[in-house]
Structure 1
Amino acid sequence: MAGHIQDRWYKTVTDAEGTSKRVKTDRYGLGMRYRARYVAPDGNERSKSFPDKQKRLAEAWLTQLAADMTRGQYVDPSAGKVTFQQFATKWLASQTTDVSTITAMELRFRLHVFPHIGSRSLNAFQPSHIRGWARALKDSGIAPSYQRVIFANVSAVFGAAVDDGRIPRNPCRARSVKAPKLDPRKLKPWTRERVIAVRGGLPEKYRTTADVAAGCGLRQGEIFGLAVDEIDFLGGIVHVVRQVKLVGSHLLFAPPKGGKLRDVPLPDTVSYVLAEHITRHPPIEVTLPWKAPNGPPVTATLLFYSRERKALNRNYFNMYLWKPALVSAGVIPKRLPGERFSESREHGMHALRHYYASVLLDAGENIKALAEYLGHADPGFTLRTYTHLMPNSQDRARKAIDEAFGTDAEDDGDSGEATAA
């Protein structure tokens, strides 16, 4: 790398006799004295100014740049002058994931990120800035799991900036920066009595949604998108192939979460109530765009739909059907006139999915199978979420050994040696 230090306060001149001497320039005493100049890998000249008495610092800066270029780690200092908000906005626009995921990320950035760190240039970030923002996020009172999602989104933006050569490293991955910790509280599944009570609080037309959630483990959107031809009554299988999503104010069909299509066992009890539901409330054809508001139209014969014979909107269902059912079951208090329902995030329809998982684990189902039924891509996630609900391993071990040796031990007077062997 060709680089040199320019002294803008002095210049060297040669007189008529060929003698060189240093004289003050017109800029003497004004602004930064030294300008470190170099040619970047793209062939363009770059420079950085340093104050008086900082020539050694300028030389060290050039030396570091030369080393970075040799290692292939050079980052153009001017590339990181764009603000976090500017870069994140372009990054969001380039994402190829589904529309609802992008919309959710945009909302997180707008509410919890841009007001705090959006105006700072990428190359001006230090780990301390991320620590301060993470602390503000924690103090805001939002759920730890949601904090982790927001933090991961921000880290992804910085990761993209590193990949694009705008900054040398991701400040979210500094050793002194800690990602938000998950709430240590363990998930507590509903009891059978509560499931029955909440189901009974739903309008008759929608009670079967609770049966499908608690009996098959489907997500809310998957239940809303369930079509009659995806129920195999003879084979005892539910084919989960779509969900109803809400993107802004638009309802649309989309693949299940993570694009993971799956088959779920259909218990006889759920099969019976589904058949009865179909008799009382015949399925109807509903057409929605596929995956995006401007996507191609797709038609499905849905089992559950609104009074207007449209796909169910989660906002309407949760506010006007689900929460009143929680009130009737005594899960949350009654809403006072003019006020909102109490916060009930842990008592959303997802609670029926947790109940489903707890019942299967208690019956001895293995984690891999449960993960498949729930549509989890990673069985490790299933294990971390529900491991405390698994039957006690010590109890199982004692029972297994007792069953293996118990009868023989009673018949053999020297049972101590037999079990010790």
Structure 2
Amino acid sequence: MTERYAAMVAVGARLGLRQGEAFGLAVDDVDFLRGVVHVRRQVKLFRDRRMVFALPKGGKERDIPLPESLRLLLAEHMRPEKYPPVQVTLPWRVPEGEPVPARLVFTTRQNTPINRTEWNRFVWKPALVRADVPATRENGFHALRHHFASVLLERGVDVRALAEFLGHADPGFTLRTYTHLMPSSRDRMRLAIDGAWGHDAGACALDVPSERVS
């Protein structure tokens, strides 16, 4: 990925944002002090190429914990000498809507909002080719969201919490979508016990004099 958009890949993979939500992320949405990202808007593209700001899919804002690794990466990305946030104004919800400003974290080289179609064609797909990854629909930006979900499930994050982070109104939908990524009960058992006891068999020895052990 080109340097300008490398942090956007991290946003997709570490926060599970949809592509339009990543395009619409503003600096005011990132609470560096409290470690929270407020997902408040997305950039929507109409067929006539006009773009607007709108609520995230489902019509509801949400909060996602900000991992320390991403906090540092975003702070570095937004440094004044690199890619400082850019004030952008777009209509709200429909092309005829009221103009709404936002200081976007990610913009084009022309300091304009990102057009999904052009970005996928000229940035994302060439990056896939350079990484020797098939430039197919399955490997679109949304794959980062699936990665986010799989990492959290693998590490035992509750499905209800994951649904909240992903912006799913129904945790059942999250479960049906990602159940194939969840570790089996046997795997969970092994991880739970090994996590509690470690791998040192000697740790189970009783700390008592040998003559008292029958």
* TM beyond 0.5: yes
TM-score bracket, normalised by the shorter chain, equals 0.7 to 0.9
Q: Return the TM-score normalized by structure 2.
A: 0.87
Matched residue type, 1:288: L
- CA gap of 1:397–1:225, structure 2 versus 1, over 3 A, is same
2:186 to 375, 394, 400: 394
Matched residue type, 2:3: E
Matched residue type, 2:74: L
Map 1:6-25 to 2 at 5 A: none
- CA gap of 1:328–1:398, structure 2 versus 1, over 3 A, is closer
Partner secondary structure for residue 78 of structure 2? helix
TM-superposed CA distance for 1:375, in Å, is: 0.6
**What do you get for the CA RMSD once the two structures are aligned?**
2.1
- Is 1:274 matched with 2:66? no
- CA gap of 1:286–1:391, structure 2 versus 1, over 3 A, is same
- CA gap of 1:329–1:294, structure 2 versus 1, over 3 A, is same
Query: 2: CA distance between counterparts of 1:376 and 1:397?
Result: 28
Equivalent residue number for residue 152 of structure 2: 360
Map 1:244-255 to 2 at 5 A: 244-248=43-47, 249-255=49-55
Equivalent residue number for residue 320 of structure 1: 122
Q: Can you give the 5+ residue segments of structure 1 that lack an aligned partner in the other structure?
A: 1-201, 333-341, 412-421
Partner secondary structure for residue 97 of structure 2? coil
Matched residue type, 1:377: A
Query: 2: CA distance between counterparts of 1:395 and 1:349?
Result: 29
- Is 1:205 matched with 2:4? yes
Aligned residues between the structures: 198
Equivalent residue number for residue 228 of structure 1: 27
TM-superposed CA distance for 1:247, in Å, is: 1.0
1:376 to 158, 164, 168: 168
Is the 1:286–1:302 contact (alpha carbons within 8 Å) kept by the matching residues of 2?
A: yes
Percent identity over paired residues: 57
Query: 1: CA distance between counterparts of 2:169 and 2:119?
Result: 27
Query: 2: CA distance between counterparts of 1:398 and 1:275?
Result: 38
Partner secondary structure for residue 87 of structure 2? strand
- CA gap of 1:399–1:271, structure 2 versus 1, over 3 A, is closer
Q: Which structure has the larger Rg over C-alpha atoms? A: 1
Query: 2: CA distance between counterparts of 1:311 and 1:391?
Result: 39
Q: Return the TM-score normalized by structure 1.
A: 0.45
- CA gap of 1:292–1:330, structure 2 versus 1, over 3 A, is same
Matched residue type, 2:77: H
Is the 1:260–1:377 contact (alpha carbons within 8 Å) kept by the matching residues of 2?
A: no
Structure 1, residues 109-163: CA drift from partner, whole Å, max 9, x if none? Answer: xxxxxxxxxxxxxxxxxxxxxxxxxxxxxxxxxxxxxxxxxxxxxxxxxxxxxxx
Structure 1, residues 234-260: CA drift from partner, whole Å, max 9, x if none? Answer: 111000000000012110000000112
Partner secondary structure for residue 11 of structure 2? helix
TM-superposed CA distance for 1:395, in Å, is: 3.1
Structure 1, residues 320-358: CA drift from partner, whole Å, max 9, x if none? Answer: 0000000000002xxxxxxxxx5x110000011111111
Is the 1:238–1:264 contact (alpha carbons within 8 Å) kept by the matching residues of 2?
A: yes
Equivalent residue number for residue 56 of structure 2: 256
TM-superposed CA distance for 1:273, in Å, is: 0.9
Structure 1, residues 70-123: CA drift from partner, whole Å, max 9, x if none? Answer: xxxxxxxxxxxxxxxxxxxxxxxxxxxxxxxxxxxxxxxxxxxxxxxxxxxxxx
Query: 1: CA distance between counterparts of 2:95 and 2:132?
Result: 38
Matched residue type, 1:287: T
Query: 1: CA distance between counterparts of 2:191 and 2:53?
Result: 48
Equivalent residue number for residue 296 of structure 1: 98
Query: 1: CA distance between counterparts of 2:34 and 2:16?
Result: 18
Map 1:5-404 to 2 at 5 A: 202-248=1-47, 249-279=49-79, 280-332=82-134, 344-397=136-189
Partner secondary structure for residue 259 of structure 1? coil
TM-superposed CA distance for 1:307, in Å, is: 1.9
- CA gap of 1:401–1:217, structure 2 versus 1, over 3 A, is closer
- CA gap of 1:290–1:399, structure 2 versus 1, over 3 A, is closer
Structure 1, residues 30-68: CA drift from partner, whole Å, max 9, x if none? Answer: xxxxxxxxxxxxxxxxxxxxxxxxxxxxxxxxxxxxxxx
Query: 2: CA distance between counterparts of 1:262 and 1:273?
Result: 21
Structure 1, residues 363-396: CA drift from partner, whole Å, max 9, x if none? Answer: 1101000010011111111101111111211233
* Higher RCO (CA < 8 A, seq sep 6+): 2
